[in-house]
Structure 1
């Protein structure tokens, strides 16, 4: 594990204190959780952007996002990204 130092806005510091109290966790743990969540969301957004631009396949997008093929297919459908294959088609093809 690496150590980082960062300056944050006073408002963010106040929010961190509230979260620490609500989650009953120390500041380092709260920051790790928030950072982990933000990185996961960033990876998914990046993967969806690459899919939208037709720069990657579904499998590659799933890998970039760190999620399963079915999950990325579902997200692509929810974000109305045309990938040439729908979740319904996949379900239909896997049943046969």
Structure 2
């Protein structure tokens, strides 16, 4: 099983922690992406300071750039209908629907 790393908010107002975790299988209709860059914006700062009620632990960052590592069943094209393959570079943002 592959191992990934993420910066995790474990407690509001406290330093973030770098944690290792098992990489799950790709979900049906989804994919696993090896993230190369992640955006940390004002929303993430508000989350870290406890200004928004969210459960913890939480991986911050909701926009990113990475390489497709695994495709789940039923995942064949991107939002524009272009074919997706392992090794493709993709970007995402939570405010943009993936379709």
Query: TM-score if structure 1 supplies the norm length?
Result: 0.23
> Which of the pair is proportionally richer in helix?
1
Q: Name whichever structure is richer in strand by fraction.
A: 2
Q: Which has the higher contact order (CA 8 A, sep 6+)?
A: 2
Higher Cα Rg: structure 1 or 2?
1
